[in-house]
Chain A
Amino acid sequence: MTRKVALILIIAVLFLPFLPLVVWSVAKGWYFPQLVPQQWTGAHWAAVVAPGSRVLQGFWQSLVVAGLSTALALAVGLPAGRALGLMEFPGKGAIKLVLLLPIIVSPLATLMGIQFVLIRLGLNGTLAGVVLVHLLPTIPYMTLVLSSVYANFDTGYEAQARSLGASPIQVLWRVTLPLVAPGIVVGALFAFLISWNEFLLTFFVGGGQVLTLPMILFTALQGGNTGLTAAIAVTSVIPALIFLLFSSRALHDDAAMGGLGDV
């Protein structure tokens, strides 16, 4: 019983920061010490969804950047995850450590180095440059999650299919991929969110021209319009909510997250 009460209290505290955000996004002139706003307004949301608004543009830019970097990370993460999850080979530990470095070491110096090349290539301040840099965190997370998915994969199914005469492509398409699909979904959602939430990388190589949603929110946070800032913040949470809906089952399947406890 006490355990249940403690848990409910903890969950309430975790929810707490969302409360003022949601209220502020529909409040008009909510001055101290009013506990509840005296007037309500839809103006902040109208500004967010107005055609051509910076927030909407940021939403689409974020969507494109996160979608592309997730797809690229998936393309290289699938084979690497298989090797790291299923095979034993010399240097495996070192490879895992190298993959982990971009996650745990501050990316600032790396970013300024990459930016030097991006400027020469004319990619600084372009979507392509931002997508490329977003691969720094997405590839490692994707690979580690997928390696743990593959560690629970039984290669016997593939052997069985091959012995029954399936071609390698048929095996991949009709046996392997359907079996690892739930893990792939979690890995992809994870990578998508990491890219969607990323601020610093975009900030350094976006050159103020690639304005993803976090960039818009950062600018708003330094301005004075609390209501609009709150509405932008709530907008930024939409993919996270979708993630939670999708992953409520999959996250419980510890195979995917176990990969991060084992690095």
Chain B
Amino acid sequence: MNSIQPLTSSRRSARLADIPWRAYLLVLPALSLVLLLFGGGLGLAFLQSVGLLGLTSDGSLSLAAYGEALGDSQFWRSLGLSLYIAFTATALSTVLSVGLAMLLQGAGRWASFACQLTLPIPHLVGIAGVLLLLSPSGLIARLLYALGWISSDQDFPLLVNDTANIGVMIHFLWKEIPFMTLILLAVLRSIRPEFAMQARALGANPWQCFWHVTLPLLRPGIISASLIVFGFIFGNFEVPFLLGSTYPKTLPTLVYQAFTNVDLNQRPVAIALGLLLSVISMVLIALYLGLGSGQPCRRSFGGQP
């Protein structure tokens, strides 16, 4: 009907048609809900932390909450502890998961299934199990006593609520290694076996084959998985709260304490601490992505399922 159109209009409509509206429309509900909840929540938290909004605020801009949060020497100790736990547990889980994934690759289905056992278990259940297993009167201490290796529960090394946070590490390794292994196995299975065969045919030994062929192909999977695990451990509250050292406390525990304080004036401090925690994890993640691959979100070869 309108076969003759002004040139400009048709060009504009062509340009509009180029935009994949359908894709954006399909993503819109999920994206807007996440933006509303996450972005909106962060925005409101920020307004409360600077005193522009809040139960006890008079509506004037104030950085007092940040001053109080950063001025407390406990903050820096807690930051150090949180970083130590997150880095150590993530690094150990990553190395062990790569090993376990390689081990499982050739093994039967039963093995990969059994290794995913801890994946759907709630963290609190793991905490309860670790407590009953590793505490001075736990099952392992009883076993050592029965074997005659220790003569009382006093002889058993402190593994829960200890200053080195060994119980926390053990819990996170127990929970996160199966998670990372599952992701890495999916990536491993997508790698064409021809690459490794080719390398072996050209004379590479198994170690060279792993180091120069498999590991580089696994890299995108390793980066994504360790990123999720690091972010999770850094922000986790209940594990270090129940299994970790009583002093210093992790950052999320500090937030919890300020949040549950009866003094409502502590609320902006809790929010400021929470925001600092979010900002620190975002900066660390950005640094990691920048150092790691540069193209975190691109559908990469190794990540192709």
A residues contacting the other copy or chain, number (CB 8 A)? 101
**Contact across chains for A99 and B34 when beta carbons are under 8 A apart:** yes
Residue of A nearest to B151 (CB): A33
**Contact across chains for B252 and A108 when beta carbons are under 8 A apart:** yes
**Contact across chains for A229 and B103 when beta carbons are under 8 A apart:** no
Q: How far is the CA of A221 from the CA of B278 in the complex (A)?
A: 28
Q: Which of A48-56, A173-181, A232-240 contacts B (4 or more CB under 8 A)?
A: A232-240
Kindly state whether residue A163 has any CB partner on chain B within 8 Å. no
**Contact across chains for A109 and B275 when beta carbons are under 8 A apart:** yes
With A76-B33, A132-B37, A136-B37: A20-B138 Cβ-Cβ less than 8 Å: yes
Q: Which among B31, B41, B107, B185 is the interface contact of A99 at CB below 8 angstroms?
A: B31
**Contact across chains for A214 and B122 when beta carbons are under 8 A apart:** yes
Q: How far is the CA of A257 from the CA of B242 in the complex (A)?
A: 30
Kindly state whether residue B183 has any CB partner on chain A within 8 Å. yes
B residues contacting the other copy or chain, number (CB 8 A)? 111
Q: Which among B53, B138, B231, B305 is the interface contact of A104 at CB below 8 angstroms?
A: B231
With A6-B103, A108-B277, A233-B124: A17-B174 Cβ-Cβ less than 8 Å: yes
With A221-B124, A261-B225: A7-B259 Cβ-Cβ less than 8 Å: no
Residue of B nearest to A257 (CB): B186
Q: Which among A19, A98, A116, A217 is the interface contact of B35 at CB below 8 angstroms?
A: A98
1/0 per position for A140-170, CB-CB distance to B under 8 A?
Answer: 1001000010011000000000000000000
**Contact across chains for B125 and A236 when beta carbons are under 8 A apart:** yes
Q: How far is the CA of A218 from the CA of B241 in the complex (A)?
A: 11
A interface with B by C-beta (< 8 Å)? 3-4, 6-7, 10-11, 13-21, 24, 31-35, 75-77, 79-80, 82-84, 87-89, 92-114, 116-117, 132-133, 135-136, 139-140, 143, 148, 151-152, 193, 196-197, 199-200, 204, 214, 217-218, 221-222, 226, 229-230, 233-234, 236-237, 239-240, 243-244, 248, 251-252, 254-255, 257-263
Other A-B pairs, 10, CB within 8 Å; known A197-B124, A244-B116: A79-B26, A105-B231, A108-B252, A112-B45, A113-B40, A152-B305, A217-B128, A252-B113, A259-B305, A263-B297
Closest 6 CB pairs of A and B: A258-B305, A17-B129, A106-B235, A104-B231, A93-B297, A262-B303
25 contacts between A and B (CB under 8 A): A3-B106, A6-B103, A7-B111, A11-B111, A14-B115, A15-B117, A21-B128, A34-B142, A83-B23, A87-B22, A92-B297, A97-B297, A104-B281, A112-B45, A113-B40, A114-B40, A116-B44, A139-B30, A197-B123, A200-B236, A204-B259, A233-B124, A240-B121, A262-B224, A263-B224
